[in-house]
Amino acid sequence: MINQTMSLKHWLMLLLLSFLWGGSFFFIGVAVTQLPPLTIVLLRVGLAAIVLWSILLISGYEIPKSLATWRSFFVMGLVSNALPFSLIVWGQTYIGVGLASIINATTPLFTILIASVFLTDEHITPQKLIGIIAGLAGVIFLIGPSSLLSLGDHTMGQLAIMGAAVSYGCATVFGRRFTVMGISPFNTAVGQVTAATIILLPVVLLFEDPLQLTNPSTSVWLAVIALAVFSTALGYIIFFHILSTAGATNVVLVTFLVPVTASFLGWFILGEELQLKYFIGMALIAVGLLVIDGRLWARFSNN
Q: What is the pLDDT of residue 148?
A: 58
Q: What is the pLDDT of residue 2?
A: 47
Q: What is the pLDDT of residue 295?
A: 61
pLDDT in tens, 212-245: 888 889 999 999 999 999 999 999 888 888 887 8
Q: What is the pLDDT of residue 9?
A: 86
Helices 8-31 and 235-246: crossing angle in degrees, nearest 10, is 140
Q: What is the pLDDT of residue 179?
A: 79
Q: What is the pLDDT of residue 119?
A: 76
- Where the chain has pLDDT below 50, the residues are 1-2
Q: What is the pLDDT of residue 180?
A: 83
Q: What is the pLDDT of residue 297?
A: 62
